[in-house]
Amino acid sequence: MQVAIPLYPRFTALDAVGPYTVMAFTPGWTVTFVGAETGPVLDDKGGLSLVAAATYADLPRPDVIVVPGGPGTLQAVFDEPLLNWVREAHEHTRWTTSVCSGSFVLGAAGLLKGRDATTHWGWLEQLSGVGARPVGERVVTDGRIVTAAGVSAGIDMALSLVGEAAGETTAQTVQLAIEYAPEPPFQAGTPKTAPPELAEPALGLIDFE
């Protein structure tokens, strides 16, 4: 199974590295970071550069695409080389997926029209602007399109996909290898459980410019 994760400036690191880690731990799966050019791509917080090891042209037909989110999606939705690659690669994927605001890239590529999809809670309703039906769940599957909620939700999505493609036993083995038995010290991970006054400052931590 060949997975491609496109990088664009000001992506959010965990959006990409959560699914990467789950999928790269899966026997027989290869995960490649791709970009318009090879080389380092800087994240949203300016502290991390991930290296794109291949160009879009190098990987025209991955089995799985995972588009990460981040404040850079505001520019990525107008990035024609990225959108063209997503659109063309999607013709042949088993799954075309996104994490967080990465779903807006799928939307800009025209892939979400009339489809159920999700994204970060902060702009879920805005998904209707690309023709999707916003669904407030952590992982949303509509045919070959799978979208995950904000940032950390990509880990859950990736484990689900590994379970479907490689079987539950393999997915559980990967889960055990990465000791994914979360114990968040607080219960503020969604607007449903967080103190309501935190919503605005939480969105303020996302550096749109």
Which residues are the active-site residues?
100
Contact between 209 and a copy of itself per CB under 8 A: no
**Helices H / strands E in the chain, number of each:** 7, 11
Give which of 169, 168, 163, 108 is closest to 141, Cα–Cα.
163
Stretch that binds a copy of itself, among 56-64, 90-98, 128-136, 183-191 (CB under 8 A): 183-191
Contacts (CB under 8 A) with a copy of itself, residues 100-119: 100
Among 78, 91, 114, 169, binds a copy of itself (CB under 8 A): 169
Instruction: Pinpoint the alpha helices (H) of the chain.
Output: 13-24, 73-76, 80-90, 102-108, 153-166, 168-177, 199-204
- Alpha carbon 79 to its chain centroid, in Å, reads 17
90 binds a copy of itself (CB under 8 A): no
| Cα–Cα distance for residue pair 35/138, rounded to 1 Å | 27
Which residues contact a copy of itself (rule: CB under 8 A)?
A: 12-14, 17-18, 20-21, 24-25, 27, 30-33, 40, 45, 47-51, 53, 100, 120-121, 138-139, 149-153, 155-156, 159-160, 163, 168-169, 171-191, 193-195, 198-199, 201-203, 205-206
